[in-house]
Structure formats: structure tokens, C-alpha cells
Structure 1
Amino acid sequence: MDQMDITERQKWIVDKLNRTGSVRISEISQELGISRETIRKDLYSLNQRGVVNAVRGGAVLPTSVKETKYDKRTKMNVSEKKEIASTALRFIKDGFSIFLDYGTTNFEVAEAIKKANFKDLTVVTNSTNVLKSLEYQKGIQIIFLGGNLRQSEGAVLGPLTINNISNIYCDIGFFGVGGITLETGITNHYIAQVDVSRNMMEHCRIKVVLADHTKFELTALYKTTDVANVDIVITDHLIDEKIARQMRLADISFLDSKN
């Protein structure tokens, strides 16, 4: 088999796991012709992201959706997410209409908005956590999209949500990711939520992706869009400089907290 890069290799592992329910390091190593230590590192990375459950000698499917649970993610990379939220505020102006996607980084954006002194904002969201953050904030009108509630994420989705998007247009939208690479694009873990993000991106004048440094060079299961289809990508100061240089060569604005 031709040599794979890390993104292709991890996607191959996830695809095999979805087909078989479990994988063994020794078998993957033999099939791909790659060292066991490399596969072990891949499984560790996937385990950290909640895509797999690493076990002795291999990995199995998580018992829930192949995504780290929301409550667990709120405790991960908190300072980096706050950095990203602070940078995101630069693109918000008084009187703007804003879409905030579900996810823990967008929750930090909502918290940052709450502490800022914006006037006459309209916030559109499908996140109950964003809703709870801003529901009593003066000067902010909230439009909650409605739909089927995915309780584990505090997000609504499905046909009703998509239909409600059809007549809403925002100045700017902020979108989270499960993974981002120049080759694969922007990906996430849950297909119904990806559908919401795709539709909302089409209804935002400026599309901003929020991705902490751990999300780069990773690929989640479902593709949202190509990197070239967004306007701005914001990350934190821990981004690998090689990755940052590659992203800056794309036809987008790429910002970290050092910019």
C-alpha cells in the first residue's frame, strides 16, 4: 500500500473501525506496512479526540457518538479557546447579526460577547449553551433556531432547524470544527450538525472558522466544506508554525492570538 500521511492513515483507521467495531494495532501495522509505534500514536490521538476508545492492543468504537462529550470538551484547552474568542471579537461590530454554531469554542465567544460593550447585536444560534449564556444580556436580541434537541451537545438540528435557516441571513458566522486540513477541508463528527453548519454558512456574509491548535491536521468523519470556502480561520498561539505557514498560503485570512 502507498505510504499515507497522518490524516489519510487516521481516516483509514476510523473507516475500518466503523466497519468492524474493533481494530488491533498488530493487524493495522501489517495491513499498512507501518510500525506499531506509529499506529499506537494514531490511536492515542484519536482517543484524545473521542473518536475511538483505546484498549490494550487496539481500539473499539465509543459507546456513544464518535465525538468527545460536551462536558469533557469544556475542560479541554480552555485558555486557548478564550484566546480564540478574544480574537473573534475583533470582527464583531455594533448592529451586527451573528451566527454562533454549537460547540465549546463558540460558547466562549458568547461569554466574551457578554463581557464586551456591544450595542444592538442579534445573535442567531442552534446552541442551548449559547442561549443560556446570553439570554438575559441587555442589548442582544437572540434568535434560537429550534429543531430536534441533541441533548448530549445542547444543540438543535434536523429538518425544522434547516427550514428555519432559510429566511435568516447574518453579517458574520462563527463555526467550530472537529478537524481541519488544507487537503480534506473542514470536518466534523455528526452529519446532522454538519448539515446545519453548511446551510448557515450559505447565509453568512463573512464565514469564520474557530479551531484550536489541536484540531489541525485531523479529519473527522463528515466534511462541512473546503477551507477555501471560508473567509477567516482563527486559532491560538500554540499552532505549529509549519501548519500556520501552509494555512497562510491558502486564499483566506489566518489568525492566531499573536497576530
Structure 2
Amino acid sequence: MDMLERHAEILKQVKEKGTVKISELSKELNTSRETIRKDIYILDKKQKLSSIRGGATFLKKGIEETRYGQRTVLDVIEKKEIAKLALNYIKDGNTIFLDYGTSVVELAKAIESSPLHDITVITNSLNVVDIFRYSTKNSLILLGGGLRSEEGSLSGPLTLTNIDNLYCNVGFFGCSGLSIQSGITNHYFSEVEVSKKMLSHSINKVLLADHDKFNQIALYKTADVSELDVIITDKKTPLDIINKYKHIGIPVINSSSKIKLSTLKD
């Protein structure tokens, strides 16, 4: 199948399904994920569709349908599974950092609806702010900075300066890609700089990554895998991948794990 045929099939599926995944297109079209990713990039630039993390969706012209909004409907069950597990790493009275990813926002929802209380949440995400803005049992610290409205995230020199005097018990981070060789990677440089600094200001470092993130590489590196204390994923992540991380000393936890939850540092 040549490029034009692939593009036609991708657009057909987007029209029929609304949202498609790179992993599924790769299998159906018998083409590598990297080729499908490039196809989607080309079609996005031509404004034929909208690329989102891990796939593509029908292009809507209104600003109400941002790429962040489109990503929130992908792998919802898996993200909720990850969020439920992540609650085990938070204690009443902790100070935590929540970054701007959609999996992290699911964790924010889970925290606010759980019995946990007196949590101080540091964030650079307006989507996280929306969860806690009227909270009566937890408190919120919003890092200032420049707004990337599409993601609802704050970053830049002001954000980095505001981090200088802030530290937390646990930092929860998302990613666009994750591999043992390349580490944790993301798409936007300024947001990566915020994540890097908060990693260094977090006693415990937890990565939330659904199965689609493994063996993927985005443009900018956030950190080496060795800097993490634990990776929380969903039960769709293959066991052979989990074992590779276990072999290098990084626990990977999902709801099917037979190993106990890792103990984090006080």
C-alpha cells in the first residue's frame, strides 16, 4: 500500500470512527507505527485531520475541541485504572505535584473523590486547577507562567522561578513516550523544563504511563528511567515489557501485578 492509499484509508477510518489509534492502524494497514505517525503528521499539516497523542481524530474547527480535549476520550478506562493505583502512593497531609497530562488529571479527580484529605497540590495545569478550585479538604498551589491554551498548561521562566522554593513528597508525571534507552520524553520543550525541575524537587517520582506510551519516543527528553521510583501503567501493558523494567530495578505496577506496591521514601 503506497502513501496515498494509506492516507485515504486513514481519513476514511477517522471519518467513520471519529478517533483512531496509531497502534491499531499499524496492524490493520500492515505498516510500522512510525510510518503511520508520519502519515498522520502530514495529514494534520494539510488540515485533513487532527493529530493527538497516540492517534488522530476528526478535525473540528471550533476552539472548543482542543487536542487536549480529544485526548481525554482515549483510553479512559486505562487512565482510571492507573489513577486508582496511584492513590496508594499518597498519604493524608502530603504535598504532591501533578503535571499537565490527561492521566494525571484522572488522578486529580480520583484524589478529590477519595477519603484523602489535607493534600497540598502543586500544579502547572489549569485542568488540575478545575478539579480542586472549590475543594474544602485539599489545598492548591498554582505555578504561574505563560499559558499554552491548547493544553491548559503553564510554563516558562516565571514557572521555573516559582518552583525554586517548593518541594513535595511525591511528584506524579505523565509522558508522550517511554523507553529504557531514551527515557521519558515529551513534545513541548518549555513543559519538559518544568517537569525536569519538579522531578528534582520531588522526594518520590512516579510516572503514569498507559500501555501506548511504552517503546515510544517524543522529541524532548525529560529524564532517564533510572530517576523514577515507580511506573504505574494499565493491564494492557505486555508482561515482557514490565519484566524489562523490573530487570533494571524500576517497578512497573498495574492492576494485574503480582508484586506488592512499592514503598516510597518519607
TM-score range, shorter chain: 0.7 to 0.9
Partners of 1:170 and 1:186 in 2: how far apart?
20
Aligned position for 1:242: 240
Identity %: 42
Letter in 2 for 1:44: I
Letter in 1 for 2:34: D
> So what's the TM-score if we normalise by structure 2?
0.76
Aligned residues between the structures: 219
Partners of 1:61 and 1:226 in 2: how far apart?
35
Question: Is 2:28 the counterpart of 1:44?
Answer: no
Letter in 1 for 2:224: D
The 5-angstrom pairing of residues 131-150 of structure 1 reads 131-150=129-148
SS at match of 2:69: helix
Partners of 2:147 and 2:95 in 1: how far apart?
23
The 5-angstrom pairing of residues 29-40 of structure 1 reads none
Aligned position for 1:105: 103
- Distance change >3 Å, CA 243–CA 144, structure 1 → 2: same
Partners of 2:242 and 2:51 in 1: how far apart?
27
- Which sections of structure 2, spanning at least 5 residues, go unmatched? 5-28, 54-66, 258-266
Aligned position for 1:21: none
Letter in 2 for 1:252: I
Aligned position for 2:186: 188
- Distance change >3 Å, CA 41–CA 180, structure 1 → 2: closer
> So what's the TM-score if we normalise by structure 1?
0.78
Letter in 2 for 1:187: T
CA deviation profile, 1:28-71 (whole Å, cap 9, x unmatched) = xxxxxxxxx76554322566xxxx4255xxx8687999854201
Kept in 1, the 8 Å contact 2:210–2:234? The answer is yes
Given candidates 165, 168, 171, the residue that maps to 2:166 is 168
Partners of 2:32 and 2:234 in 1: how far apart?
27
- Which sections of structure 1, spanning at least 5 residues, go unmatched? 1-23, 27-36
Kept in 2, the 8 Å contact 1:25–1:39? The answer is no
Q: Say what the alpha-carbon RMSD is for the aligned residues.
A: 2.3
Kept in 1, the 8 Å contact 2:96–2:170? The answer is yes
Aligned position for 1:53: 41
Partners of 1:172 and 1:240 in 2: how far apart?
26
Partners of 2:51 and 2:249 in 1: how far apart?
31
Given candidates 67, 70, 84, the residue that maps to 2:68 is 70
- Distance change >3 Å, CA 124–CA 64, structure 1 → 2: farther
Aligned position for 1:213: 211
Aligned position for 2:220: 222
- Distance change >3 Å, CA 175–CA 163, structure 1 → 2: same
CA deviation profile, 1:129-181 (whole Å, cap 9, x unmatched) = 00011111112110000100110000000000000001000000000000000
Kept in 2, the 8 Å contact 1:25–1:40? The answer is no
Letter in 2 for 1:74: T
SS at match of 1:53: helix
Given candidates 65, 83, 86, the residue that maps to 2:84 is 86
- What is the deviation of 1:258? 1.4
Kept in 2, the 8 Å contact 1:95–1:122? The answer is yes
Kept in 1, the 8 Å contact 2:103–2:174? The answer is yes
Kept in 1, the 8 Å contact 2:124–2:142? The answer is yes
